[in-house]
């Protein structure tokens, strides 16, 4: 597969609202996509990126909170515990932060890029990023967690982002 620069899709692009397709057999093409996703994430100073954010409908995510790169295929949260509330940003909703309530600790099952089953127990920021990226695979964005007042505060920013993508309606 030729090396191409992936472009991050921003709020208003319909691809961000679609449910990503599960990956069957992991191929060299999937491994190449994961590699390019990681490069894109690092280039944009992110700590997580899901395939739908670069226009690819596949259950693939990459993340690195400073402790090493994870490349996950078909990640699923199998257990949640505790609560935390963190102000989150998103590469697909630039300039917007939303306080999101999530589980403090999660257990995730996935496959690595070689098809081996892995289990991850994560807490705090790591748990937050896993939940955030898995949300993207379900077509869910941080703005979906915003309170009414938060939505009023970010409405203008979202309208500006939306004007860059003409084919989507404002969601609230």
Catalytic residue among 29, 39, 119, 133: 133
**Angle at the Cα of 73 from the Cα atoms of 68 and 76, rounded to 5 degrees:** 95
| DSSP per residue, 111-165 | E-TTS-EEEEEEEHHHHHHHHHHHHHHTT--GGGG--HHHHHHHHHHHHHHHHTS
Alpha helices in 15-102 (DSSP H): 28-43
Encoding tokens for residue 93? 């909703």
- How many Cα atoms sit within 13 Å of 139 on the Cβ side? 11
Q: What is the C-alpha separation between 166 and 122, in angstroms, rounded?
A: 38
To the query of whether residue 133 is one of the catalytic residues in this protein, the response is yes
Report, as residue numbers or ranges, the catalytic residues: 133
């Amino acid at each position: 597969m030729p090396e191409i620069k992936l472009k991050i899709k921003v709020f208003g692009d319909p691809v961000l609202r679609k449910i990503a397709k599960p990956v069957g057999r992991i191929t060299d093409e999937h491994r190449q996509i994961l590699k390019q996703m990681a490069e894109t994430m690092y280039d944009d100073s992110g700590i997580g990126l899901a395939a739908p954010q670069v226009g690819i409908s596949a259950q693939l995510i990459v993340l690195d909170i400073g402790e090493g790169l994870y490349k996950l295929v078909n990640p699923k949260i199998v257990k949640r515990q505790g609560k935390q509330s963190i102000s989150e940003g998103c590469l697909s909703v630039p300039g917007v932060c939303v306080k999101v309530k999530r589980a403090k600790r999660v257990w995730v099952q996935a496959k690595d890029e070689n098809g081996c089953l892995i289990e991850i127990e994560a807490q705090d920021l790591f748990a937050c990023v896993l939940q955030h990226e898995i949300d993207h695979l379900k077509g869910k964005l941080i703005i979906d967690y915003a309170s009414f007042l938060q939505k009023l505060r970010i409405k203008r920013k979202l309208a500006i982002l939306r004007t860059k993508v003409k084919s989507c309606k404002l969601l609230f």
